[in-house]
Amino acid sequence: MSEALLITAIWLPFIGFLFNGLFSLKKEPISQKAVILFGVGSVLLSFIIFVILTISENAIIMSKTGLGAHFFTWIDVGHLKSDFAYKLDGLSVFMAWIVTGIGMLIHIYSTGYMEEEKPHFARFFAYLNLFIFAMLHLVLGDSLPLLFLGWEGVGLCSYLLIGFDYDKDFAAEAGKKAFITNRIGDAGFLIGMFLLFQHTGTLNYDIMNKFFSENSLDTSLLNLIAICLFIGAMGKSAQFPLYVWLPDAMAGPTPVSALIHAATMVTAGVFMIARLAPVFLGAPEASTFIAFVGGFTALLSALIALTQTDIKKVLAYSTVSQLGYMFMAMGVGAYGAGLFHLMTHAFFKALLFLGSGAVIIALHHEQDMRRMGGLYKHIKLVAILFWIAAIAISGIPGLSGFFSKDMILEMAFTYKYGGSILFLMGFLTAILTSFYIFRLIFLTFHTSGDAVKKMKEAIHHHHDEHGHGHGHHETLHPLRWNILGPLVILGVLSVFGGYVGLPHVITHQTPGIVQYFDKVLAVPPTELSKSWHNHIDGGLAYSLMFGSILVAFIGLLFAWFRYEKQNNIPSEDSKKRSFFVNLSFNKFFVDEIYEIFLLKPIKKLAVFSYKVIDDKIIDAFVDALGKNTLKIGSVFRKMQTGITAHYAFYIAAGTLLLTVIIYGGIK
Amino acid sequence: MIISEIPMSYVLILTLLIFSIGIVGVLTRKNIIVIFMSVELMLNSVNLLFVGYARMWKNLEGEMAVFFVMAVAAAEAAVGLALVISIFRTFHTVDITKIREMKG
């Protein structure tokens, strides 16, 4: 019974996808009510089923193997067996709640956000449903091939949704960029998967965990596997150097940015590491590498976020930065902290994105913060929720982000192999995070600027650019309950989500969420990574915590001083920027560096292959073959005179010749 | 000289002559009907050979083969002449040097 329920919960969004996908092909758009019924209803129902399952099957789910459900056999070749079989255990139930819960909220929000996109309404929900379906396979599959299927599925949906406005060049380009960058990571992931299969003989989690509990592989081999798998995570979870697609992915509609590019899909890499804990915990050097890549990514993208002026770009770099925190936690073996931050980040970042979407829709698709300001007067509720999310992400105590970020910083500090550098990177990132997020708030909602006035002015300047058919905008677009409702729920979660992981120094016991993951993961990470950490006493832990609280306030004060007090609205004129601002504004020229050092040589190689190897060698060879055949033919075709007597002669002569050859020797 | 005393070598030489005349006719003549007749000549030279050997070995199988050849030749003549008529209708000639559809 519960197996059937689990399968139903996973396949419900697929029904929504089929319904909306098939009807989106019709020329006449079907009624939005029907789309919402199937699109939102399927995800809502799926979430409800997960809630019911979590309550009714709690004991089985919390056991090591979890609740299994076999749907059908998929691959059965030689030793490789992979089925559409699902596994609802402590880790996947945690992810399933986030995916369907936040997914459902964002589906509801989308009914308001996409209202005006009448011809594409059904298509949008079809893609969102397909995404939920794929993401559920990613987190609930009981073997790596099924995880990979979901991994590629969410990648496909990400591509489709980034390029949702496919008639705009930048959106189509951004979609391609996301897809191709992910492809590079996926190659690494596949190699890691092959190596695992080669050495453990299975890709099923349960069998693999059993293998690792009985045998141990060579550490250098495990390091190699972990690095290969992490390359996959670099692509999907936007870590340096493969993070470049995520900021461009903001070309997609804002609910997509919230769901896929902040709350769920991009955390797949973190989930994957937790899922394969026996591999990653057995690979200390690879883990150090992961921690440093995470720390560096966090710092770099926080620096870029400082000067961005597109509201969604700031949030995109912030997401990359927070993902860096998560990988730093996973790298130092603090799996509980990493997954904790995954959850709190899902809450406050979804809130930030949905809030920015509300601002964008209220201003009739204006994303540039330089043309905002003073919005607090007009949309108070959104502004307050934005403040909540910003307080949560900046690490001001009491809200969710503080607990998870503090836990990560503490674990990074005690890490034996370069912990102080990691901590420094994390600490700097914390200051920058606080600064850029409050900068966003002041520029959007406060300052002397008046977004409504600027919007009216913009009508005269950019009249042709407004292709949405809104006509003249004298007032803000009204925000209805389906936009504000999900925001409020996420606001509540952002406030209280952190209380599942109260720090050790307050409660004098291991944080609840860490205990939970020590219990449900295949191997207890805290125990296995104990030797990676120095002991930390209460006093030091307190001072670390106060340090991070202090920097959060410093960031807030500095942002307030610069943007509210001094009213220093960033100039649109690039000449007025200082060198460092320019560096950050231009994203450290990473895209340009890739262009020069990677894309140009590859393009040159492509042109070389085409002009020289293909044209001059392969084509020339084939052409010569054809021409010479013709030449030889033109010699022999002279034999074909068309005069019957000649043919008769050949026959006679041939017969004579054969006769002589065969009987000539006989005496 | 009575027939039974004709030596086999005479038969062979005569057969060879008739066969060669047939081949030369096929290879050199232009008129399709003459070529056709030359083919018949070649067939009949072979018939003669069959008869010659049959007499030599005192065996009737050779003579039997001759009847088969005659029957086949008759059928072949019917088909062949029909083809000749068809060719004449299409090309308005029976000169095979003028019919060069197969020229490469």
**pTM score over 0.95:** no
Closest approach of B36 to chain A, Cα-based (Å): 12
Find the mean pLDDT for residues B12-30: 92
CA torsion through residues A535, A541, A545, A551, sign = negative
Contact B103 A648 (CB under 8 A): no
A640 closest CB neighbour out of B26, B27, B103: B103
Contact B104 A639 (CB under 8 A): yes
Q: How far apart are CA A266 and CA A353, in angstroms?
A: 14
Q: How far apart are CA A400 and CA A507, in angstroms?
A: 16
Closest approach of A166 to chain B, Cα-based (Å): 57
A648 closest CB neighbour out of B27, B102, B104: B27
The CA-atom distances, in angstroms, between A78 and each of A74, A149, A203, A205, A314 are 13, 20, 13, 18, 50
Which CATH code of 1.10.287.3510, 3.40.50.300, 3.40.50.720, 3.30.1360.200 fits the domain covering B3-103?
Answer: 1.10.287.3510
Chain B interface, Cβ < 8 Å to A? 23, 26-29, 35, 96-97, 99-104
User: CA-based Rg of chain B, rounded to a whole angstrom?
Assistant: 17
Q: Which pLDDT value is given to residue A465?
A: 47
**Chain A residue whose CA is closest to B22:** A652
Would an 8 Å CB–CB cutoff place A77 in contact with chain B? no
A440-443's contacts with Cβ under 8 Å and 24+ in sequence apart are A440/A311, A440/A314, A440/A315, A440/A369, A440/A390, A441/A383, A441/A386, A441/A387, A441/A390, A441/A559, A442/A559, A442/A560, A442/A563, A442/A564, A443/A369, A443/A370, A443/A372, A443/A373, A443/A563, A443/A569, A443/A570
Would an 8 Å CB–CB cutoff place A643 in contact with chain B? yes
The CA-atom distances, in angstroms, between A219 and each of A281, A286, B48 are 10, 10, 96
The two structure tokens encoding residue B10: 């005479």
pLDDT lower than 70: segments of chain A: 458-474, 571-576, 666-667
In chain B, domain spans: 3-103
Please report, for chain A, how many H helices and E strands are present, in that order: 30, 2
Residues of chain B with C-beta less than 8 angstroms from the C-beta of A637: 104
The CA-atom distances, in angstroms, between A248 and each of A14, A176, A179, A181 are 28, 10, 12, 12
- As a whole number of Å, the end-to-end CA separation of chain B is 56
Q: How many CB pairs under 8 A join A and B?
A: 34
Closest approach of B39 to chain A, Cα-based (Å): 11
Please name the amino acid found at residue A377: K
B96 closest CB neighbour out of A638, A645, A649: A645
Please name the amino acid found at residue B62: G
Binding-face residues of A in 646-665 toward B, CB within 8 A: 647-649, 652
The two structure tokens encoding residue A302: 């926080």
The two structure tokens encoding residue A651: 């026959």
A649 closest CB neighbour out of B27, B35, B99: B27
B96 closest CB neighbour out of A638, A644, A649: A644
Q: What's the 3-state SS for A246-306?
A: HHHHHHCCHHHHHHHHHHCHHHHHHHHHHHCHHHHHCCHHHHHHHHHHHHHHHHHHHHHHC
Closest approach of A624 to chain B, Cα-based (Å): 23
The two structure tokens encoding residue B91: 């090309």
Would an 8 Å CB–CB cutoff place A622 in contact with chain B? no
Q: Which pLDDT value is given to residue A464?
A: 47
DSSP-derived letter for residue A368 is B
Q: How far apart are CA A137 and CA A157, in angstroms?
A: 13
Contact B26 A648 (CB under 8 A): yes
A640 closest CB neighbour out of B26, B96, B102: B102
Burial A496-520 (b: 16+ CB within 10 A, else e): ebbebbebbbeeeeebebbebbbeb
B27 closest CB neighbour out of A639, A641, A652: A652
The two structure tokens encoding residue A65: 């193997």
For A450, counting Cβ atoms within 10 Å of its Cβ (0-12 exposed, 13-18 middle, 19+ buried), the class is: middle
Residues of chain A with C-beta less than 8 angstroms from the C-beta of B101: 642
Contact B100 A638 (CB under 8 A): no
> Which phi and psi angles does A566 have, rounded to 5°?
-85, -10
- Most distant CA pair in chain B: distance in Å? 56
ipTM given for this complex: 0.83
Would an 8 Å CB–CB cutoff place A645 in contact with chain B? yes
Q: How far apart are CA A593 and CA A589, in angstroms?
A: 6
**Chain B residue whose CA is closest to A652:** B23
Q: Which pLDDT value is given to residue A529?
A: 84
The two structure tokens encoding residue A180: 């191709």
- pLDDT tens sequence across A435-485: 999 999 888 888 777 777 777 776 655 544 444 444 456 677 888 888 889
Determine the distance from the C-alpha atom of residue A610 to the mean position of all C-alpha atoms in its chain, rounded to a whole number: 34
**Chain B residue whose CA is closest to A645:** B27
Q: Which pLDDT value is given to residue A580?
A: 78
Q: Are strands A67-77 and A80-88 parallel, antiparallel or unpaired?
A: antiparallel
Contact A645 B23 (CB under 8 A): no
**Chain B residue whose CA is closest to A638:** B104
Would an 8 Å CB–CB cutoff place A641 in contact with chain B? yes
